[in-house]
Amino acid sequence: LIYGSAWFANNMKQMAFQAMGKPLLDGGFAVVSINHRSSGDAKFPAQINDVKAAVRFIRAHADEYRLDTSFIGITGFSSGGHLSSLAGTTNGVKVYKVGDTEMDIEGNVGDCTSFSRRVDAVVDWFGPIDMTRMENCATTKGADSPEAALIGGTPAEHMDVLTLLNPMTYIDEKDPKFLVIHGDADTVVPHCQSVFFKDALSAKGRLEEFITVPQGQHGPITFNEQTFKKMTEFFRKQAAMDLCPANITLVPHIRPGSKKNPPQKQFYTLY
pLDDT in tens, 161-187: 999 999 999 999 999 999 999 999 999
Inter-CA distances, 129 with 193, 194, 237, Å:
6, 7, 25
- Give the pLDDT score at 211: 98
Query: Is residue 251 scored above 50 in pLDDT?
Result: no
Query: Is residue 14 scored above 90 in pLDDT?
Result: no
DSSP assignments along 149-164, one per residue? HHHTS-GGG-HHHHHH
| Over residues 144-154, mean pLDDT | 94
- Give the pLDDT score at 262: 42
Domain 14-270 belongs in CATH node 2.40.50.100: no
| Over residues 55-70, mean pLDDT | 95
pLDDT band at 17 (very low <50, low <70, confident <90, very high): low
Query: Is residue 139 scored above 70 in pLDDT?
Result: yes
- Give the pLDDT score at 9: 86
Cβ neighbors of 199 (< 8 A, separation 6 or more) are none
- Give the pLDDT score at 16: 56
**What is the overall mean pLDDT for the chain?**
88
Query: Is residue 47 scored above 70 in pLDDT?
Result: yes
Residue pLDDT, tens place only, 225-236: 999 999 999 999
- Give the pLDDT score at 13: 59
Contact between 28 and 34 (Cβ < 8 Å)? no
d(CA 172, CA 170): 6
Residue pLDDT, tens place only, 70-128: 999 999 999 999 999 999 999 999 999 999 999 999 999 999 999 999 999 999 999 99
Question: What percentage of residues in the chain have a pLDDT greater than 90?
Answer: 78
Give the end-to-end CA distance of the chain in Å, rounded to a whole number: 13
- Give the pLDDT score at 264: 45
Q: Taking the complete model, does pTM exceed 0.85, yes or no?
A: yes
| Over residues 217-246, mean pLDDT | 86
Query: Is residue 250 scored above 80 in pLDDT?
Result: no
Query: Is residue 131 scored above 90 in pLDDT?
Result: yes
Q: Which helix (H) or strand (E) holds 146?
A: helix 146-151
- Give the pLDDT score at 248: 40
Query: Is residue 202 scored above 70 in pLDDT?
Result: yes
- Give the pLDDT score at 271: 37
